[in-house]
Structure 1
């Protein structure tokens, strides 16, 4: 290239990305003042801030986010994960629960200039959580003294829960209204002529399970029946629920309705009923909690838990916590029932 072929100085400036030093030189200020004016980290008078912003816009200056994060230690990322074990959270149907929440959470996070990191259910345990970096975290339905929550708290990661944590007060949370959800389903099953209602729920100390038990107790208190309850270890998944439902049905031949609070458990309960020759819904009416793929593909009555709204509320709550606030719980919307064949009432 000859000397005359070299690009002019204005062209070189157009090709080269403008730096904060270029902005500082153009306004005759220090780079520290320019940085504070653009970031808002330290107070700068309004006239100076506006002058710096105009100069930055004229030069086409864009902050180097990676460099800023290296200086501040921020990742501009929040993580969302489920504390449910892999046996019930790892399948494609149960993962839909987490994905529905994550979709709305990601949209709300972007509005706050944050990215969302989805942590899949961990078959190998919570130790893997130690390998990622995020500015905050949302945990879905934590159990009592959840090890994943304890690990992230020990690292000082701000955190909120979707679902009331156990013990209450251990995390700011979005109230999913688990009791109300269970009541909606159980009141639907308790139709005139229903003799006995059974309950299958998780054995772990998780608010969703214990709320289902409380709602069940309140519903059957007005019926002439004793509790018919099976608590299933979440780690056992669908197969453990199938065996528990089979034993429950055989021990209580008058039972003609069943609420199964975990959707994968409900599929196992359906299998048990059919193995024993019980027609659904003719002989046994059934409903579950989450209206996901398991419910839809098995014609199960289920609840629309309004997960998109819960995800957005959780991000708002986490932003408050990350800003140093101690916010009150946010209350989610009332779940609504999606009625399918599994709970249809036979004609009289």
Structure 2
């Protein structure tokens, strides 16, 4: 038997071993075309004996697909990059990448702040976009190319192929926790940029009558691109304007760190005078003293669901919407009665 060395066995070697044409081998191994069961079994046996491994690149070229998808966030580097070490994006992307491999896809992680022209050079079949916003240039670049997109969260003006709905991303759960801890005047800091949550929360608060249980909700906005500094500045303004403020909820963790800096600088204590909470349970939250109360968002499951949606869409199976896991509160010292504030580590 004359074949190439193991590891470089070709489709021609398998064809000779099985006594069929190369086209028949291709059809038998890919499931395309009509091949009778006996011939298909003979080809499979020959391929296994010879140690044949298909040329994935060639298969992708023939199929017109790259079998690669991208994951990216519309949030700026000051939120998901820099000193946060892309924690949120990594916590989401690693389980998503594993799910991609199980479906035969590779995943590219696009760093926050990457210029949109970089996307034009990526050979991708689809993309997962976290916290979309209408004026995000990367969204515009993907849309212009006709790339299949699943968004995690939704925003006005963004019409993807599929949406993993996050609702209010646990905001009601966290505010209920603050109320249960005794908060009665809660400042909520969202981004000026119209990301999914910052666009949805004001409407929700208005529907609630700007109250949640026994507490009044006071909305404030800060520029996400200014990160921790913006959170500190807006919190200082809230404290000056609202002397009875006894809690701050900032879904973006950079804002929450800034809030703690401002509260401490004002001479108040966390949580005895002002309780502070955020959404993402990452390095910023852990570095604060006391540590920030956060949400368990179940990012691994969120990533797996988004991948399953995207793969189904790429296979022409419509999956317009699914729902993200329900968040739960991780209670730590920043809202727990009896804890006391210490130095705040700056993670701008």
Partner in structure 2 of residue 289 of structure 1: 279
Partner in structure 2 of residue 196 of structure 1: 185
Matches within 5 A, 1:210-249: 210-217=199-206, 218=208, 220-221=210-211, 227-249=217-239
Partner in structure 1 of residue 344 of structure 2: none
Which residue among 289, 310, 313 is the counterpart of 1:321? 313
Matches within 5 A, 1:1-348: 13-14=4-5, 17-93=8-84, 95-122=86-113, 124-167=114-157, 169-179=159-169, 181-191=170-180, 193-217=182-206, 218=208, 220-221=210-211, 227-298=217-288, 299-346=291-338
Check conservation: 1:182, 1:215, Cα contact below 8 A: no
Cα offset for 1:35? 0.8
Change over 3 Å in CA distance of 1:16–1:137 after alignment to 2: closer
Cα offset for 1:134? 1.7
SS in 1 for 2:319: coil
Cα offset for 1:69? 2.8
Change over 3 Å in CA distance of 1:130–1:169 after alignment to 2: closer
Cα offset for 1:214? 4.4
Larger radius of gyration between Structure 1 and Structure 2: 1
Mean Cα deviation higher: 146-155 or 221-230: 221-230
What per-residue deviation string (whole Å, max 9, x for no partner) do you get for residues 146-203 of structure 1?
3212212322322211122434643302122435x00111011113753311111111
Using the alignment, how far apart are the partners of 2:265 and 2:7 within structure 1? Answer: 72
Cα offset for 1:231? 0.8
- Structure with the higher fraction of residues in helix conformation: 1
What's the C-alpha RMSD, in Å, of the aligned pairs?
2.4
Paired residues, number: 336
TM-score by length of 2: 0.88
Using the alignment, how far apart are the partners of 1:226 and 1:303 within structure 2? Answer: 21
Check conservation: 1:249, 1:255, Cα contact below 8 A: yes
* Structure 2 unaligned regions, length at least 5: 340-348
TM-score by length of 1: 0.88
SS in 2 for 1:279: coil
Change over 3 Å in CA distance of 1:316–1:43 after alignment to 2: farther
